[in-house]
């Protein structure tokens, strides 16, 4: 797979990625390497990584507990302390090896340590390969509020090695595929069609195109002043449902992708009402996404709480809930609003 050039860094694929990383380390003469892992990636991904990396530099492993619940400033403080104890300096390199929590948190830790040291992302889940590790967003959660603290900071390089996908569960792969479907609906419908028409599609083949799309969007609008908001398609409703399921005592947490799939169905409904998106395509989205991701148990008594989360969405401006909507596949409109009635109808539509 060919290298994708982002604004200031390359995204290298497969074997070449490791030789480029080794070259980067030699050329920059880093003083030491810090590899950030979690309980899973230390066991399942680190052995492959260390076998393929060629360097004589000192390597320190920093391990944090896995899971979104640990994506916070306490964990950052722990990592900063360990780096300090181990003598990290401004010429140290941080290598993040993991899913979105590791790449987001590790990028943030690196870009704030001693006012910023270099970092490299090695995403190991589908979600972090096609979304989190690309585009320069780093950060952590503040309580239940996702990604409230962070900075835009670019890695020196991304190592994209699909072999790591063999270390994650089918449910996690499905979760990442929701982001691929998202790129399909907004930029290249082939991606959605390939997943829905062929349950055995090789997801690896769709990763490169997904990253190309994300990279094009981010190159045009790195700080989300305009067109980058399109990456939030399905995410306004999706995040609200995801947060609600996470917080509710009576619900089992959804994966990010499962929540975004619900978001895309609801927002396709809102698109139909507000922008005349095709009814036939709306019905196809609902049928296909519910087939892939299942139907989450949302009932009427959940609606008020979901609306509360929508009202507090960090993407809102001036008190309005902000949506990306579709006029057509590959034809979107940013900064849309709608009525509370239509939002409720969209949840009814999802559950009907
Ligand atoms: N995950 C959306 C973005 O990177 O902008």
Q: For the residues of 109-168, what is the DSSP string, one character each?
A: HHHHGGG--EEEEEE-SHHIIIIITSSSEEEEEETTEEEEEEEE---SEEEE-GGGGGGS
Determine the average pLDDT of the residues in 49-68.
96
- Residue 318 above 80 pLDDT? no
Q: Taking the CA atoms of 299, 301, 304 and 306 in sequence, report the sign of the dihedral they define.
A: negative
What is the CB-side half-sphere exposure of residue 330 using CA atoms within 13 A? 9
Hey, which of 214, 217, 259 would you mutate to test ligand 1's pocket, going by the most ligand atoms within 8 Å of its Cβ? 214
Please name the CATH architecture into which domain 4-167 falls. 3-Layer(aba) Sandwich (3.40)
**Which tokens in the block code for residue 80?**
């900063």
Superfamily of domain 170-351: Dehydroquinate synthase-like - alpha domain (1.20.1090.10)
Hey, which of 137, 154, 179, 216 would you mutate to test ligand 1's pocket, going by the most ligand atoms within 8 Å of its Cβ? 137
Instruction: Give the start-to-end residue ranges of the domains of the chain.
Output: 4-167, 170-351
pLDDT digits (tens, 9 = 90+) for 164-216: 999 999 999 999 999 999 999 999 999 999 999 987 888 888 999 999 999 99
Q: How confident is the model at residue 317 (pLDDT cuts 50, 70, 90)?
A: confident
Ligand 1: which atom is nearest the Cα of residue 228? 5
> What's residue 204's pLDDT?
86
Q: Which residues pair with 12 in a beta bridge?
A: 159
Ligand 1: which atom is nearest the Cα of residue 134? 4
Mean pLDDT of the chain: 95
| Cβ(33)–Cβ(61) below 8 Å | no
Using CB distances shorter than 6 Å, the residues near ligand 1 are 131, 135, 137, 224, 228, 231
- Residue 314 above 80 pLDDT? no
CA 51 to ligand 1 centroid distance, Å: 31
CA 301 to ligand 1 centroid distance, Å: 31
CA 93 to ligand 1 centroid distance, Å: 24
More confident residue, 145 or 220: 220
pLDDT digits (tens, 9 = 90+) for 238-295: 999 999 998 899 999 999 999 999 999 999 999 999 999 999 999 999 999 999 999 9
CA 27 to ligand 1 centroid distance, Å: 31
More confident residue, 237 or 201: 237
Q: How confident is the model at residue 109 (pLDDT cuts 50, 70, 90)?
A: very high
Q: What percent of the chain has pLDDT over 70?
A: 100
Q: Which helix (H) or strand (E) holds 122?
A: strand 118-123
Determine the average pLDDT of the residues in 148-155.
96
Q: Which helix (H) or strand (E) holds 127?
A: helix 126-127
Q: How confident is the model at residue 4 (pLDDT cuts 50, 70, 90)?
A: very high
CA 105 to ligand 1 centroid distance, Å: 15
């Amino acid at each position: 797979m060919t290298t994708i050039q982002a604004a200031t860094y390359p995204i290298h694929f497969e074997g070449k990625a490791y030789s480029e990383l080794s070259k980067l380390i030699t050329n920059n003469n880093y003083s030491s390497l810090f590899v950030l892992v979690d309980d899973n990636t230390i066991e399942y991904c680190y052995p492959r990584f260390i076998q393929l990396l060629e360097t004589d530099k000192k390597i320190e492993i920093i391990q944090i507990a896995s899971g979104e619940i640990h994506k916070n400033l306490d964990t950052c403080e722990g990592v900063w302390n360990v780096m300090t104890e181990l003598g990290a300096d401004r010429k140290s390199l941080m290598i993040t090896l993991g899913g979105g929590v590791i790449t987001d948190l590790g990028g943030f830790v690196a870009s704030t340590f001693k006012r910023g040291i270099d970092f490299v992302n090695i995403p190991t889940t589908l979600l972090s390969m096609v979304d989190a590790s690309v585009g320069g967003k780093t950060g952590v959660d503040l309580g239940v509020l996702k990604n409230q603290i962070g900075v835009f900071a670019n890695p020196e390089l991304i190592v994209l090695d699909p072999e790591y996908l063999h270390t994650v569960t089918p449910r996690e792969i499905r979760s990442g595929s929701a982001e691929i479907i998202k790129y399909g609906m907004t930029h290249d419908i082939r991606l959605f069609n390939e997943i829905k028409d062929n349950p055995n599609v090789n997801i690896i083949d769709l990763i490169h195109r997904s990253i190309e799309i994300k990279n094009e969007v981010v190159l045009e609008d790195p700080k989300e002043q305009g067109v980058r908001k399109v990456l939030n398609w399905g995410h306004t409703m999706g995040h609200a449902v995801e947060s609600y399921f996470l917080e509710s005592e009576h619900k089992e947490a959804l994966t990010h992708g499962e929540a975004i799939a619900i978001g895309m169905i609801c927002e396709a409904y809102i698109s139909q009402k507000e922008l005349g998106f095709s009814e036939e395509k709306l019905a196809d989205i609902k049928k296909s996404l519910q087939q892939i991701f299942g139907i989450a148990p949302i009932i009427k008594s959940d609606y008020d709480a979901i609306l509360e989360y929508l009202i507090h969405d960090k993407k809102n401006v001036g008190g309005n809930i902000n949506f990306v909507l579709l006029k057509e596949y590959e034809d979107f409109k940013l900064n849309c609003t709608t009525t509370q009635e239509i939002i409720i109808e969209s949840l009814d539509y999802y559950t009907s």
